[in-house]
Amino acid sequence: MSAPETKHAGAPSLRDLRALTQARIALGAHGAGLPTGAALAFGLDHARAREAVWTPLDTGAIREALRAEGLDAVELRANAADRAEYLRRPDRGRILHPDSDAVLDGLGTGFDVALVIADGLSATAVALNAVPTAAALAARVRRAGWSLAPVAVVQQGRVAIGDPIGARLKARCVVVLIGERPGLSASDSLGCYITCAPEPGLPDSRRNCISNIRQDGLAVEAAADQMEALLRAMMAQGTSGVGLRRDSRVSPPAPPLPEA
């Protein structure tokens, strides 16, 4: 009986597509299974995704990096006792711990923009991308003449943690930079959620999202340009989310295709 035929790669057209995406395409086959390299890569990416979820955020390092960019920062925490509770009880990640209320009370009120950095479901994404993104946004906020609150760095935070923070600071808008749920193609993707007139209990339909901010996704400067455009629209219209009229120019141009 002859050995099964081995296919090491997909069709040329699919191989070309691999230059455009980290999705698992054109992996090849060995009999009824994957080639050894593809199987090992799958296991490695699964381990990276788990690590991104469970690794604690080094808030001290984030604050030091923000200071190096000229940004004041305070450390807060949501009302989840630990990572396990955070994953089991998403609602706890949307509520501030009582100790954090006192920290916010000392920051003042009436800011145009409040900026929150939360670990979310990927501390890896925050460690790699949050500070450059925050610095790029802060530069645009200053250029626009808006006031920026000290950056709130939050442990065990969900997207909606920005609502009580923004409300307590009486900010016109709140920007939340948060680690997105990792997948098997990327574990370092940062998300941005912006809300106008934040207050606790707002539905997700009141937020605008910019996703996949990372080296192999949406570039930091392009993301910051979109944030600025959204903030301008929100401040002009007094709303956000599905009710916001968006200029089509907010979307970035498509990247050029690789040469054949």
Whether the pLDDT of residue 190 is over 70: the answer is: yes
For residues 150 and 38, which has the higher predicted lDDT (pLDDT)? 150
Q: Do 73 and 153 form a contact (C-beta atoms < 8 A)?
A: yes
Residue 185: predicted pLDDT: 74
Q: What is the largest CA-CA distance in the chain?
A: 79
In a domain, 1, yes or no: no
In a domain, 75, yes or no: yes
Whether the pLDDT of residue 193 is over 80: the answer is: yes
Whether the pLDDT of residue 52 is over 80: the answer is: no
Residue 250: predicted pLDDT: 52
Q: Tell me the per-residue pLDDT of 169-182, one tens digit each, with 9 for 90 and over.
A: 999 999 999 999 88
In a domain, 22, yes or no: no
CA gap 256, 253 in Å, rounded: 9
The enclosing domain of 78 has a CATH number of 3.40.50.11240
Residue 147: predicted pLDDT: 98
Range 138-152 average pLDDT: 98
Whether the pLDDT of residue 249 is over 80: the answer is: no
Radius of gyration of the chain (CA): 21
Whether the pLDDT of residue 46 is over 80: the answer is: no
For residues 35 and 195, which has the higher predicted lDDT (pLDDT)? 195
Whether the pLDDT of residue 9 is over 60: the answer is: no
CA gap 34, 45 in Å, rounded: 15
Q: What is the DSSP string of 86-149?
A: HHH-GGGGGSB-HHHHHHHHTS-S--SEEEEEE-TT-HHHHHHHHHHHHHHHHHHHHHHT--BP
Residues 6 or more apart whose CB falls under 8 angstroms from that of 133 comprise 177, 190, 192, 213, 220, 223, 224
Q: Tell me the per-residue pLDDT of 110-138, one tens digit each, with 9 for 90 and over.
A: 999 999 999 999 999 999 999 999 999 99
Phi, psi of 195 (to 5 degrees): -130, 135
Q: Tell me the per-residue pLDDT of 96-107, one tens digit each, with 9 for 90 and over.
A: 999 998 999 999
Whether the pLDDT of residue 28 is over 80: the answer is: no
Helix axes 36-54, 123-144, angle to 10 degrees: 60
In a domain, 175, yes or no: yes
The range of the structural domain enclosing residue 164 comes to 54-245
For residues 247 and 89, which has the higher predicted lDDT (pLDDT)? 89
In a domain, 118, yes or no: yes
Residue 31: predicted pLDDT: 74
Residue 5: predicted pLDDT: 46
Residue 3: predicted pLDDT: 47
In a domain, 43, yes or no: no
In a domain, 252, yes or no: no
In a domain, 67, yes or no: yes
Whether the pLDDT of residue 229 is over 90: the answer is: yes
Q: How many domains does the chain have?
A: 1
Q: Tell me the per-residue pLDDT of 68-101, one tens digit each, with 9 for 90 and over.
A: 999 999 999 999 999 999 999 999 999 999 999 8
CA gap 206, 202 in Å, rounded: 7
Distance of CA 252 to the CA centre of its chain: 17
